[in-house]
């Protein structure tokens, strides 16, 4: 549950989330209270888990009912590399209608697949010489979980957003959105381990002109159950 105790805009609680998320709350830091007004509208989210550790690789998306004129174009084409039998980066954001390519930087073959409802696909086995050959279009918003059929531990997420106002939290748990047009938005936070339907929570947020919002969110994560890469998998190489 997101519980903004004090925010620049009026906040509405998402009642259904309150029912299932008892221990998540949002706090405004004293620094934010005293922040002077600036010309550009920005929002900065600090994401922590219940242990107080920063949450990395969470996607923050601002959703608006009205069309938003955005200057960002980098959200339409993404590249997910495969290096040392891992997807890089782990979380990628794409605006619906965008595409992603899956280059192979390893000297062995990979077989990329997804059974996610947002996009189901699989590539044939391919190697590094087929760079950029395999590109998939992602038209339906949602999260696409991609894996490699050869290497079970390889797992990456493509967040297909409805808007271009998306950011991924860094290693200290901060996700920043800048140049946000003022207006009423829904703030959606997604993380692969977030303990909520579709691993995401939402709340309304009002972005006012010239204001910088700093939000601190504490999210409850479920334990990460995933296939672990065996230590020997790094050492064992064919030939």
Partner 1 sequence: MSFAGSLFSFRSFRSRLIFFLLSLLAPVLGGIFYYVNTNNTEYTEETINSYLELGADVFDYTREQQALTLQAITNSLTWDFGFRTAFAANDPATLFDAALNVLDRSFNSADMLLIVDLDGQVIIDTETQGMDVLLGSWRQLLDAADADEEGRAEMIITIDGLPFQLIALPLYLPRQVAWIVGGFSLDQEFVDRVKETTLSEVSIVKLEKMAGAEELDLEVIVSTLTTADQSVLTEQIQLDDAQLARLQRISTMSQDYASLLRRLYGQEGGALQVFAVIQRSYEENSENVVQFRSLLIQFYLLVLVISLLAVLFLARSITTPLSKLVGVVKKIEEGDYGRSVVVASRDEIGELADSVNSMARGLAEKERVRDLLGKVVSHQIAEQLLNNPVELGGEERVATILFSDIRGFTTFCEGLPPKEVLKALNIVLSTISDIVESNQGVVDKYNGDAVMALFGVPVKGEQDTVNAMTALMEITSALEEMDSGLSACVGVTTGVVVAGNLGSNNRMNYSVIGDTVNLSARLESLTRLYNVSNIVSEASRDDAPNFAYRELDIVCVAGKSQSVRIFELLGIEDELSDSKRSESVAFSQALKEYRSQNWEAAEQQFSQLLIKCDNSQLYQVFLDRIERFRINPPGPDWQGEFIFASK
Which neighbouring-strand residues pair with 180? none
What is the pattern of x (binds partner 1, CB under 8 A) and - over residues 208-237? ---------------x-xxx----------
Pairwise CA distance, residues 77 & 140, whole Å: 15
d(CA 239, CA 236): 9
List 86, 106, 152, 220, residue binding partner 1 (CB under 8 A) = 152
Does position 149 interact with partner 1 (CB under 8 A)? The reply is yes
| Number of residues that make up the chain | 239
Task: Please report how close the Cβ of residue 180 comes to partner 1 at its closest, in angstroms.
Answer: 31
- The residues near 235 (Cβ < 8 Å, ≥ 6 apart) are none
Instruction: Select from 6-14, 68-76, 92-100, 145-153 the region that touches partner 1 (CB under 8 A).
Output: 145-153
- Minimum Å distance from CB 234 to partner 1? 19
**Alpha carbons 161 and 61: distance in angstroms, whole number:** 7
Please report how many Cα atoms fall inside a 13 Å half-sphere around the Cα of residue 177, on the Cβ side.
28
User: What is the contact mask toward partner 1 in residues 161 to 200, using x (rule: CB under 8 A)?
Assistant: -------------------------------x--------
Nearer to partner 1, 156 or 165 (CB): 156
- The reply to whether 147 sits near partner 1 by the rule CB under 8 A is yes
Report, in Å, the least distance between residue 113 CB and partner 1: 8
Minimum distance between the CB of residue 117 and partner 1, rounded to whole angstroms? 9
Three-state helix/strand/coil letters over 64-124: CCCCCCCCCCCCCEEECEEECCEEECCEEEEECCEEEECCECCCCCECEEEEECCEEEECC
Q: Is 146 in the site for partner 1 (CB under 8 A)?
A: yes
Which residues sit at the interface with partner 1, rule CB under 8 A?
Answer: 113, 115, 120, 145-149, 152, 154-155, 192, 223, 225-227
């Amino acid at each position: 549950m997101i519980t903004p105790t004090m925010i620049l805009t009026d906040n509405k609680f998402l009642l259904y989330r309150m029912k299932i998320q008892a221990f998540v709350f949002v706090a405004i830091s004293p620094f934010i209270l005293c922040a002077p007004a600036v010309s550009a509208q920005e929002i900065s989210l600090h994401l922590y888990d219940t242990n107080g550790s920063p949450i990395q690789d969470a996607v923050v998306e601002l959703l608006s009912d009205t069309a938003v004129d955005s200057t960002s174009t980098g959200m339409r084409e993404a590249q997910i590399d495969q290096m040392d039998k891992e997807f890089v980066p782990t979380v990628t954001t794409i605006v619906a209608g965008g595409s992603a390519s899956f280059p192979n930087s390893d000297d062995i073959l990979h077989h990329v697949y997804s059974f996610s409802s947002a996009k189901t696909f699989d590539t044939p086995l391919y190697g590094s010489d087929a760079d950029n050959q395999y590109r998939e279009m992602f038209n339906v918003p949602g999260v696409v979980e991609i894996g490699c059929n050869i290497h079970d531990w390889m797992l990456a997420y493509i967040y297909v957003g409805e808007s271009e106002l998306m950011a991924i939290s860094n290693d200290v748990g901060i996700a920043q959105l800048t140049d946000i047009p003022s207006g009423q938005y829904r703030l959606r936070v997604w993380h692969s381990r977030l303990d909520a339907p579709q691993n995401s929570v939402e709340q309304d947020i009002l972005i006012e002109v010239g204001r910088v919002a700093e939000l601190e969110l504490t999210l409850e994560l479920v334990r990460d159950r995933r296939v672990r890469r065996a230590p020997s998998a790094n050492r064992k190489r064919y030939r």
